[in-house]
């Protein structure tokens, strides 16, 4: 059974797409079967995986619309060695069309029902807004991975996101939970970074990943070549950080799987 993680933050520029592409490649490097779903109309995760969004015959839009099955739409990232359900500008129409579709919040969950069993990890790159595409991702996933910069306004936006997650949990997906908070563009020399990081650990405890993603030039350069950083420069600090994150997520997954069942009565 696949572990499905939605990578969500309504604030732009916090490293959602960077995290999706590089975590997918890092998990694939550990021989896990990985699917990356691009739910952002900008199609940046698609391009960053080395797939030309402008040349797509079919995209995740067709899956949501029910005019194509996921198998026929999925591509392979040659550089990252993971599967991609790609996106392009067509997805902009889905934001509006979903509002009038039956079962509108569960279109993605229904489409993935049998398909995601072929994978061990599914990562969903969400748009930088809490719209119907994001609601579909939150309804289809097991947990939420929240990338965020350690800055003042990031904390403000986090409370709104948590309220949305709680609403989805109570109405549409009772199993939904915060899987982890990922500190991105991390600079330990900055006192505000350290203050916000301490607040996150105090409030979220073990839900804050130990791994931090540093500011890294190689990490910023890799998408322009359509490559995950592990393929672009595997010795870079960015590549090593995402490999560490993949290891941390796998260990968490294994520890949950091995936890003894509760004794009732």
pLDDT at 8: 95
The tokens for 151 are 């800055």
Location of structure tokens 């509002």:
99
pLDDT, block means (10 residues), the chain with 265 residues: 92 91 98 97 96 96 94 96 96 88 93 89 93 95 93 80 92 94 91 89 92 95 96 97 97 73 37
Q: How buried is residue 221: exposed, middle or buried, by Cβ count under 10 Å (0-12/13-18/19+)?
A: middle
Q: Measured between alpha carbons, how far is 65 from 98 in angstroms, rounded to an integer?
A: 8
Please state whether the predicted TM-score (pTM) of the whole model is above 0.85. yes
Q: Measured between alpha carbons, how far is 65 from 107 in angstroms, rounded to an integer?
A: 8
pLDDT at 173: 96
Q: SS3 for 77?
A: strand
Please, which residues bridge with residue 35 across strands? 83, 122
Q: How buried is residue 122: exposed, middle or buried, by Cβ count under 10 Å (0-12/13-18/19+)?
A: buried
Give the burial string for 17-39 (b: 16+ CB within 10 Å, else e). Answer: bbbbbbbbbbbbbeebebbbbbb
Q: Which domains are delineated in the chain?
A: 3-257 (3.40.50.300)
pLDDT at 126: 95
């Amino acid at each position: 059974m696949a572990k499905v993680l939605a990578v969500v933050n309504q604030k732009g520029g916090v490293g959602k797409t960077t995290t999706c592409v590089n975590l997918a490649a890092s998990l694939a490097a550990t021989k896990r079967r990985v699917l990356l779903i691009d739910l952002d109309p900008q199609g940046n995760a698609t391009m960053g995986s080395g797939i030309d969004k402008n040349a797509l015959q079919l995209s995740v839009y067709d899956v949501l619309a029910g005019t194509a099955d996921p198998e026929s739409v999925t591509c392979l990232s040659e550089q990252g060695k993971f599967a991609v359900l790609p996106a392009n500008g067509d997805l902009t129409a889905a934001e509006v069309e979903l509002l009038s579709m039956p079962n509108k919040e569960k279109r993605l969950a229904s489409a993935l029902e049998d398909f995601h069993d072929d994978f061990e990890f599914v990562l969903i790159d969400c748009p930088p807004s809490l719209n119907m595409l994001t609601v579909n991702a939150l309804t289809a996933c097991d947990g939420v991975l929240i990338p965020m910069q350690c800055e003042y306004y990031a904390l403000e936006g986090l409370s709104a996101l948590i309220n949305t997650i709680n609403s989805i949990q109570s109405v549409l997906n009772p199993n939904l939970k915060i899987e982890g908070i990922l500190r991105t563009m991390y600079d330990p020399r900055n006192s505000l970074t350290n203050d916000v990081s301490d607040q996150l650990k105090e409030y979220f405890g073990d839900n804050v990943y130990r791994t931090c993603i540093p500011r890294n030039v190689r990490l910023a350069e890799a998408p322009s070549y359509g490559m995950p950083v592990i393929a672009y420069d595997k010795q870079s600090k960015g590549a090593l950080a995402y490999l560490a994150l993949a290891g941390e997520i796998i260990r968490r997954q294994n520890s949950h799987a091995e936890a003894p069942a509760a004794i009732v009565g």
